[in-house]
Amino acid sequence: MKKELFGVTTGGKTVYLYTFENKNGMKMTVSDFGAVLTHLWVPGKDGQLVDVVLGYDQLAQYENNNNVYFGATIGRNANRIDQGKFEIDGQVYQVDQNEGENQLHGGFSGYHTRPWLVKEVDELNQKIVFLLFSPDGDQGFPGNLSLEVSYQLTDLNELIISYTGESDKKTVFNPTNHTYFNLNGHANGTILEHLLQLDCSYYTPVKDSKSIPTGEVLPVANTPMDFKQSKKIGRDINQIAEQLQLTGGYDHNYVLDETKQETEAFVHLIGDQTGISLKGYTNLPGVQLYTGNFIEQEAGKNGVNYQKYSGLCLETQFFPDAVNQVNFKSPYIEENVQTVYETSYCFDA
């Protein structure tokens, strides 16, 4: 493991980068600022390492990472809450409204913009554990929440991200990771020619451009939303279809098929230039497919200006606005019950 200085925050906190390398030469770099993933180098079909995640070179950019959320650990609640309001056991809670009337990705002070403690570094297993304490009332949510996020790079070329949460009150616990993947390399154009397969027969449509779900769970069959069979991401993205027009491309929650086991991949993504493939596994019920529709001239790593469709996110999660939707799985955890969610991405060429 290599530890190096990343910089000092505006609040005076010294921040570091931690780089791990497996026996195959694959490398990941994460930071104790925001528990963000900054780099992920994967061997391509020619054996050359390719950095397949979008990100920044400067700490100051991560401090202001509230538009695109590159590499971010999101909490307490991934995605959107309608009107920033919900109810637990008869008590109404009003949380930050940082996207118009909605809350998005935890509010104005998301977990991705805070320093985290390093709880453990396991060099033998190429793993690091970050710890964050979120006090009662933080972002408007109830309960003192202790959250651990771990990143592990295995010798099977897996990136494993796990989230462990425990609160002294019933609360929302719906973390995710907001990394943007481009399997051709972060600097190599768009993801429109990538081949994508999602083992999801249903998705949750949105009401309007505010991207709050209607509450319906609709089949993807015979719609542009269908990725049950592998297809190019760009094949249907510009179709005249209401859901795609509302969100400027794909920005929708897909429902993992109920029959799926955690040991079965919910996604298979292939980079058209490098041949690098990604398979994803999770114990969460949904995944937000976001194709970077709102990236505009974003100054990224190595002097690259990222554009629309420069990367895509596969944000495993409870469904958007699940706190207000009775037919969606609940994102609540009970008091003093430790809860663990895990997502892994396995790479090959």
Cβ atoms of residues 80 and 211 within 8 Å: yes
Give the integer Cα–Cα distance in Å for 72 and 197: 24
Has 101 been annotated as catalytic?
A: no
Task: Establish whether 251 is an annotated binding residue.
Answer: yes
Cβ atoms of residues 265 and 279 within 8 Å: yes
Q: How far is CA 287 from CA 106, 179, 207, 316, 343, in A?
A: 17, 13, 18, 4, 11
Has 178 been annotated as catalytic?
A: yes
Q: Which of 148, 166, 298, 315 is catalytic?
A: 315
For 97, counting Cβ atoms within 10 Å of its Cβ (0-12 exposed, 13-18 middle, 19+ buried), the class is middle
Task: Establish whether 19 is an annotated binding residue.
Answer: no
What is 79-101 written as a DSSP string? SEEGGGEEEETTEEEE----BTT
Task: Establish whether 180 is an annotated binding residue.
Answer: yes
Q: Which of 39, 105, 112, 178 is catalytic?
A: 178
Give the integer Cα–Cα distance in Å for 125 and 155: 9
Task: Establish whether 89 is an annotated binding residue.
Answer: no
Give the integer Cα–Cα distance in Å for 258 and 217: 13
List, in order, residues 6 or more apart from 90 with CB less than 8 Å away.
none
Q: How far is CA 233 from CA 31, 239, 268, in A?
A: 30, 12, 12
Task: Establish whether 179 is an annotated binding residue.
Answer: yes
Cβ atoms of residues 64 and 56 within 8 Å: no
Q: Greatest CA span in the chain, whole angstroms?
A: 59
Compute how many other C-beta atoms are within 10 angstroms of the C-beta atom of residue 290.
Answer: 22
Task: Establish whether 178 is an annotated binding residue.
Answer: yes
Cβ atoms of residues 27 and 41 within 8 Å: yes
Catalytic residues: 178, 315
Binding-site residues: 79-80, 178-180, 251
Binding-site residues for beta-D-galactose: 79-80, 178-180, 251
